[in-house]
Amino acid sequence: MFAFRVNPKIEDRSRYLASTGYALDQTQKPGIEDGFNTWYHTKLNIVRVEYVETYREINSAGAPLKVQIITTRDAPIETILNGFYTTSLINIISWNKPYSIFPDTMINERKRYQLRSLDEYFGSLLAKDSRRDWTALEMAWEEDRRKLRSIETPCRRIGDSLSWKLSLDPTGVITGIPEIMLDYSCFEILKNDERYEDEEEQIQNPHDLIRAKAFISCILKYEFTFSRARSY
C-alpha cells in the first residue's frame, strides 16, 4: 500500500506497475455518503483522499500479489502516520531510504498493534492478518512494554534511533525532498487504554493512537509534521 500526493507523475508509477506484471483491478473515488468515503474519511481521519487504485499481479502461480496506491491532497507522511490502522503498516520509502517505524514489534515479535478501535471492518482485516501468521493485539502486554521502545516512547520522529533505516543507491534516481525534512518529521503516540461505549453505542477498545500535524516552513519551503508534545 503506497500513499502519494496528487502529481502528474503518478501516471509514471502506474505505467511502471503495468510493465512489471500488474494490471489495474479497480479505482475507488470517495463519494459524499458511500462506504469508501466513510472508511477513508471517518475511520482513517484522511479528509482529502482523491482516489485509491488497486493493482493485481497477472499470471501468478499462487495467490496474486496486490498493490494499492492511495492518492491524497495532503502530504503522504501525514496520511500514513494519521491514517493506517496497525503498527505494521507504518512504513515509509523515500527516494533514498526506507524506514520501518516500529521494527521491534514487526520484525522481532511479528506482532501488530491496533491504532484504531476495532469494528466490523477492521476486524475482518485483522482476521486476514492472523491467517498470515501475524499476532494482532490491542496494546502491548505489560511484560512486553519495556522491550517495545518504538511504541512505548511517546515522543518520536521518523528518523530517530528507534526506527529501522537503510540507505538506498540513488544512482539514476531523481532527487526528492532533503532527507532531513523526513528524518525530523515528528509525531506522538497516545494511549487510549479504556474500554467504553461511545455516543453511537459502538464499543471502543483499548489501542495506541498516532497524532501528527503538517507544517510548511516558509523559509525552507518544505512540509514536515509535528505534534503537541514538547520534546523529542
Ramachandran angles phi, psi of 12, nearest 5° = -60, -40
Cα separation, 27 vs 205, whole angstroms: 32
User: At residue 206, does pLDDT exceed 70?
Assistant: yes
CA of 58: how far to CAs of 11, 76, 84, 164, 167, in Å?
19, 28, 27, 32, 31
What is the pTM (predicted TM-score) of this model? 0.77
Q: If we measure between CA atoms, which residue out of 3, 157, 10, 8 comes closest to residue 74?
A: 3
1-46 pLDDT, tens per residue?
Answer: 555 555 555 667 778 888 888 988 888 876 544 444 444 544 545 4
> Residue 7: its pLDDT value, please?
57
CA-derived radius of gyration, the chain:
18
Cα separation, 116 vs 23, whole angstroms: 31
1-73 belongs to which CATH class?
Answer: alpha beta
- Residues of the chain within CATH 3.30.720 domain(s) are 1-73
Cα separation, 37 vs 31, whole angstroms: 5
106-161 pLDDT, tens per residue?
Answer: 877 788 888 887 767 677 777 777 777 778 888 887 777 788 899 999 999 999 99
78-109 pLDDT, tens per residue?
Answer: 888 887 888 988 999 888 999 999 998 887 77
> Residue 31: its pLDDT value, please?
55
